[in-house]
Homo-oligomer: A and B are copies of this chain.
Amino acid sequence: MFRTDLNKLPDAAEVLRAAGLRITAPRRAILEELAHDKTHPTAVELYERLLPNHPGMAFATVYNTLNALSRAGYVSPLTLGGATRFDPITEPHDHLVCRRCGSIEDLAPVASGEPAPASVGGFAIDRVERVFRGVCASCQREPDVDPSGTR
């Protein structure tokens, strides 16, 4: 899902084909919207963004498409608390989550010292997800709020 040139966006049709899914207008729209979105939107958020330009599109279609793409490995679901978010980048990378504002940033394929173990006591590991939680630069500048730690 990377791109080096605006004229060479990953072709939605190709992704769908590779995923073994039929190429339809709604799916292309969903995939393209997600590819341009850096905020790791939820299914509902994506749906709301698409609706204005795609009257009649059903939420179930967005939902089903995201799930199908996730299962096929062409989109990564992020479960960080709250509704499931979707990441168009499938290459392994970590995430920074701000506990104040909830913003999510991609963290470049961390120059991780240790390679993830491939197996632990018979458990075959094929994927590692890391979530770094803390406070983003922007929120650190804000005056302290709600010391109760709520949220």
Q: Which residues of A contact B (CB under 8 A)?
A: 71-73, 77, 79-81, 84, 96, 98, 105, 107, 112-114, 116-117, 120-137, 140, 148-151
Contacts and interface: CB of A to CB of B under 8 A. Distances in A.
Contact of A134 (B123, B130, B132, B148): B123
B128 A129 contact: no
Total copies of this chain within the assembly: 2
A98 B123 contact: yes
B77 A79 contact: no
Given A71-B151, A105-B123, 11 more contacts: A96-B120, A96-B125, A113-B113, A116-B132, A123-B132, A123-B134, A123-B136, A124-B140, A126-B135, A128-B132, A129-B133
Q: Residue among A81, A127, A132, A136 with the most chain B CB within 10 A?
A: A132
